[in-house]
A and B are shown apart, each in its own frame.
Chain A
Amino acid sequence: MDFTFNEEQEMFRAMFRDFSAKEVAPQAEETDHEEKPPLDVLRKAANQGFLGATLPEDYFGAELDYVSYVLLIETLAGDCMSTAVTLATHVSLVAMSILAHGTDAQKEEWLPPMAAGEMIGAFALTEPDAGSDAMVLQTRATPDGDGVILNGVKSWIANGEIAGIFLVFAQGSEGIEAYLVPKDTPGLTVGYREPTLGLRSVTFNTLYLEGCRVGQANRLGGPGEGQTVAQQAQDRMAIALAAAGLGVSEASVDVAAQFASERVQFGVPIAQKQAIQNYVTEAMIDVEALRYLVYHAAWLVDQNRDFSFDASVSKALGARVARSVTNWMLQVLGGYGYMEDYPMARKYRDARALGIIGGPTEVHHVRIAQRIFADLDVEIAP
């Protein structure tokens, strides 16, 4: 087993760090405070090829392997989780779904503008009544000539306000189906934006589909294949979110260690106090455990092996570690950790989202349990 990055990956990582420090970090506090999407950063990221990170060069993508892409998400998340989540939604959930399941015509039509950042993607699966229970959809796709009419409501759709293309999941005649719906299609309305605890520069919107007609050419995948499209997308996203958890955790440890080495109380830097050391070391142990879990899951993607189980495991751990590490590193900063003009408060609020978005931890637990017990012939229902 070779646990090192290859030369290319090392180079990419250095480039990502450079970009993030220069472009992402300086805007994080303001975009959070003003709750505005990081459009400037996205534009600059597009220039670097990040918006088409894993897409083939044929579609103007950067053709990164998933491990490198995960390094990108990790690095961005260390400075601004909102930016990381916005980008991951666009790439892992939407662009890569088109890449995996699209016809050549669809790929040619949608991928280049997405890679260029001219068209941001949003993934419309969740509904008000079906939070975790994503495979029971109320949104209907009713056949209408050579297309379908979509009717329904979607909620908590990330990138809602900035998306140019929505991947909408609906109950069709043969099961769940996925449709690519451009923003200005009549009958699609982007509605209420959820005010959130963290990830405040991600826009989470309610989406209304009222007699929204799309042609068959916009269906992604075959009839009734929507469930597969959704599941694979969510698995890819789970790994990306775990990487975001890794990024925000590492960055928090850095912030806290720096603070602890400078803050003097009782005559010494608090880093000399064993309790503070324990917080930082336990955090570091968690970070390292998560790190290789995430990279391994990403490696499975690159190997074209089944990564579903590892996606859930890394997401579940990622959520737990991010929550715990941001909490304890905030504690190291004491009162300063609670003030919004220091970065820890934002990281704490942002990290908490990982237990809920991309599938709440409880849902991932069920999926992991299903896999464990399937080998023993026990079928687990959610």
Chain B
Amino acid sequence: MRVIVILGRVLDPSGIVVKGKAGRIFVNREEYVLQPADRCALEAALRIKDAALAGLRPSQDVEVVALPRGPLPDDDVLRQALATGADRAVYLVGQVANLPYTDDAAAVRVLAAAVERLGGADLILAGATTMDTGQGQLGPRLAEALGWPQVVGAWHVAAADGRVQAVCQSSPLLVGEEGGGTSYVTVEADLPAVVTVLPGVLKLRYPDGARLINVYRGVGEVAEGLEQWDVADLVDMESLKPLLERRGQDFPPERERGVRIDGTPEEMARVVADALRQHVGR
């Protein structure tokens, strides 16, 4: 069984400061991290592989292949995937319009072609959300492009025998229930399918130390898993015109400063009551 994981990178938010008043984003430290939801997708893929190896499913060789969300300036994210346990990773290089803001529509065209070049796959996992655009479109668009069923927003994923089971948070729309509360529902589909994974639930594994050192040094079996493909070999560059055009950025209005109230409890209560009356009562 071949499981493809789509991985993207994003600026580490702890290195960014947003100054709404100045209308600017200051990047104090330009460091990139793997998209958290994509990391969960990778963890989900590796657990499917672990389950197969442990014989918890009828024996099936699971191959985990990492693909990038689009051409990236470096292959760091792919090497991380290999260090953490992926068998293969493909680094896509080439000029794509509007890098790094390539939108999901363009990325999907490239990915669909990459999947074909790989010789198909049984399951594609991707993060359900991204920290920068928050669009979450890649998974659904890719499923549409491939003509595969899609499950969006899974917490856990299991796959074997041509079927995938995804545990998702239940919603009234989904099961026709009424009322509130959190409950979970398992959604099943035939493979091949696309499943997007939500961040925050799966406990992520650390890369294996020796694999990490070797893949970054480019030595050993783990480094052999990294391949490099040119986007121009996959798609006609003309077809990569993005749907979205970035025209600028806007900031939410400054939050008004509060007023500090002093005095005895009675005095303070009087001031608060007056303010509420003023604000609400009109």
Chain A positions near chain B (C-beta within 8 angstroms): 138, 140, 142, 149, 151
Contact = CB atoms under 8 A, between A and B. Distances in A.
The prevalent SS among residues of A at the interface is strand
A142 B262 contact: no
Contacts of A138: 262
A142 B267 CA distance: 11
A196 B262 CA distance: 31
Contacts of A140: 263-264
Contacts of B263: 140
6 contacts: A138-B262, A140-B263, A140-B264, A142-B264, A149-B264, A151-B265
Contacts of B262: 138
Contacts of A151: 264-265
Nearest to A138: B262
Contacts, number: 7
A140 B264 CA distance: 7
Interface residues of B, number: 4
A283 to B, nearest CB: 44
Which 7 pairs between the two chains have the least Cβ-Cβ distance? A142-B264, A151-B264, A140-B264, A151-B265, A140-B263, A138-B262, A149-B264
Nearest to A151: B264
Contacts of B265: 151
Of B262, B263, B264, which is in contact with the most chain A CB atoms at under 10 Å from its CB?
B264
A138 B264 CA distance: 10
A149 B266 CA distance: 12
Contacts of B264: 140, 142, 149, 151
A149 B265 CA distance: 12
Interface in B213-239: none
Contacts of A149: 264
A138 B265 CA distance: 12
B268 to A, nearest CB: 10
A142 B262 CA distance: 13
Nearest to A142: B264
Interface string B260-275: 0011110000000000
B269 to A, nearest CB: 13
A142 to B, nearest CB: 5
A78 B251 CA distance: 62
Nearest to A140: B264
A142 B263 CA distance: 9
Interface string B10-46: 0000000000000000000000000000000000000
A265 B265 CA distance: 67
Nearest to A149: B264
A156 B24 CA distance: 43
Contacts of A142: 264
A151 B262 CA distance: 12
A138 B262 CA distance: 8
A325 B264 CA distance: 47
A139 B167 CA distance: 55
A140 B265 CA distance: 10
Nearest to B262: A138
Nearest to B266: A142
A138 B263 CA distance: 8
A149 B263 CA distance: 12
A151 B269 CA distance: 14
A151 B265 CA distance: 8
Interface string B240-282: 0000000000000000000000111100000000000000000
Nearest to B263: A140
A303 B105 CA distance: 88
A154 B262 CA distance: 16
Nearest to A152: B264
A186 to B, nearest CB: 16
Interface in B175-220: none
Of A138, A140, A149, which is in contact with the most chain B CB atoms at under 10 Å from its CB?
A140
A130 to B, nearest CB: 13
A139 to B, nearest CB: 11
A165 B263 CA distance: 26
A30 to B, nearest CB: 44
Interface string B42-56: 000000000000000
A140 B262 CA distance: 10
B266 to A, nearest CB: 9
B174 to A, nearest CB: 49
A140 B267 CA distance: 12
B71 to A, nearest CB: 53
Nearest to A211: B265
A151 B264 CA distance: 7
A140 B268 CA distance: 13
